[in-house]
Amino acid sequence: MANMLFSIVLAFSLSAMTGYAQGWPEGKESDFFDTLKGKLEIVFLGHGSLLLAYNGSNIYIDPVSQYANFSKYPKADLILITHEHNDHLDPKAIAALSKPETRIILSEASRKKLGHGEVLQHGHSIDVAGVTVLAVPAYNITSSRMGYHPRERKDNGYVLSIGSLRIYIAGDTEPIPEMANIGKIDIAFLPMNLPFTMTPTQVAQAARIIKPRILYPYHFGSTDTSEITRLLSSDKDIEVRIRNLK
**SS3 helix, strand, coil % of the chain, rounded to 5?**
25, 30, 45
Residue in 58, 67, 64 with CA at minimum distance from that of residue 40: 58
CA distance 138 to 67: 22
Strand partners for 43: 30, 51
Could you read off the pLDDT tens digit of each residue along the chain, which spans 246 residues?
545 444 544 554 564 344 444 479 999 999 999 999 999 999 999 999 999 999 999 999 999 999 999 999 999 999 999 999 998 999 999 999 999 999 999 999 999 999 999 999 999 999 999 999 999 999 989 877 777 788 899 999 999 999 999 999 999 999 999 999 999 999 999 999 878 889 999 999 999 999 999 999 999 988 999 999 999 999 999 999 999 898
- Give Dmax over CA atoms of the chain in angstroms: 51
Domain ranges of the chain: 29-240
| Beta bridge mates, 160 | 133, 167
The SS3 assignment for 90 reads coil
Architecture of domain 29-240 in this structure: 4-Layer Sandwich (3.60)
